[in-house]
Structure 1
Amino acid sequence: MNKVTFGLRNLHIAFKSATQTGTTPAYDTPIAVPGLVRLAPTAVGDSSTFFADDGAYYTVTANNGYTLELEIALLPDTLAARMFGWKIDKNGMLVETSDGKPEKFAFMAEVQGDQRNRRFVYYENQASRPAKERTTKGESVEVGTDTLNLTSSPILVGDQMIIKGDMELNDSNTTAYNAFFDKVYIPDFTTTSKTGGTA
């Protein structure tokens, strides 16, 4: 078991596919995006407390997902076009349009641990237009980065509303862990009984 985690790497983006059937979401093949710098999530949702018998009698908490800042070295134009619904013209120019239809996507990445690495996925994300500051080069070179503002919302999988998942390598999940970036991992909520059947 890890005592600490550190680092951030292996960003992959997988756009949602139109081939979804039922309540199992479908995604295109994940695309590796180099240059992951920072991920800063902020939880969305609040709690409400009902008071009775001179105290807090019942508390309910709403989990509405996250807003996130995802900072990378440089967002490729092909991904930007799909994320924001923009166009790329015949000469390769990325064109911002006013009526674009953004595509939703999952993203995955990995943090390191003192014992085992931990991989995670956010399932239902939409990006808003980035505002990138440009500065002249001074005595030292400061690298400019792209910061994406994302909204990560709950999504229905089977009969569960899910938002994100974390997977740490253990003795029984080697296959799923090693294939984590090959396709978007969909949770399996079945459990194995002592007799070998499923519950």
Structure 2
Amino acid sequence: MGAITFDTPFALPGSVSLSLEAQGELTPFYADGVKYYVSSSNSGYEGDWEVAMITDEFREKILSEYIDKNKVMLEEATAKVKRFALGFEIDGDVRGTRFWFYCCTSTRPKTESSTIEDTIEPTTDTVTISASAVSVGAAKKMAVRAKTTAETADELYDKWFEKVYIPDQEVA
């Protein structure tokens, strides 16, 4: 199996919320009548990502929808959703924490609308994201996500979203 590579990232503006819950289990082992050892598994993360609107670029590159010669976007029943890396920043401290979640898969957003009433409430798109481990970097360790720390060098931090972070890579 060859090295994992990632395309150049593209932005999907309009994030409203993201909630990714850790997946995995604690498995106890009993000996001498007590809980002797507990193992923990890491099955990645899963949760919902709400955005103002899923862009046509995301629909084409990730959800495998296509545009015909009449500029109409179509969803093919047998199309395969592509895996991708999800990068984002969480504001809240002096320097926002930046993330890359590897090996993500997305559901399709539901289609919904409602009548206009006294006030206009915007509708949003929500997809479920599943992030799992993938072998990245020279050490070939299985990584689920990468995140910056307070000590991450400014040079790397400033270029974080230019390409998907690979462990121990040289900063361009």
SS of corresponding position for 1:182: coil
SS of corresponding position for 1:110: strand
**TM-score (norm: length of structure 2):** 0.89
Q: Of residues 7, 28, 31 in structure 1, which corresponds to 2:7?
A: 28
Counterpart of 2:110 in structure 1 is: 131
SS of corresponding position for 2:59: helix
AA matched with 1:159: K
CA distance in 1, matches of 2:158, 2:34: 49
Q: CA deviation at 1:111?
A: 1.2
Q: Of residues 127, 130, 133 in structure 2, which corresponds to 1:148?
A: 127
Counterpart of 1:179 in structure 2 is: 159
Equivalent residue runs for 1:162-173 within 5 Å = 162-170=143-151, 173=153
Structure 2: tracts of 5 or more residues without a match: none
Q: CA deviation at 1:85?
A: 1.8
Q: CA deviation at 1:78?
A: 2.3
Offset from partner CA, 1:94-153 (integer Å, 9 cap, x none) = 101111022111111111233222101101111112213211111100001110111111
The Cα RMSD (Å) is 1.7
Offset from partner CA, 1:28-51 (integer Å, 9 cap, x none) = 111112101100112221111001
Q: Is the CA contact 1:47–1:60 (under 8 Å) kept in the aligned structure 2?
A: yes
Moved over 4 A (4+): none
Answering whether residue 157 of structure 2 is matched by residue 188 of structure 1, we say no
Q: Is the CA contact 1:40–1:70 (under 8 Å) kept in the aligned structure 2?
A: yes
CA distance in 2, matches of 1:150, 1:92: 28
Q: Is the CA contact 2:20–2:48 (under 8 Å) kept in the aligned structure 1?
A: yes
**TM-score (norm: length of structure 1):** 0.78
SS of corresponding position for 1:148: strand
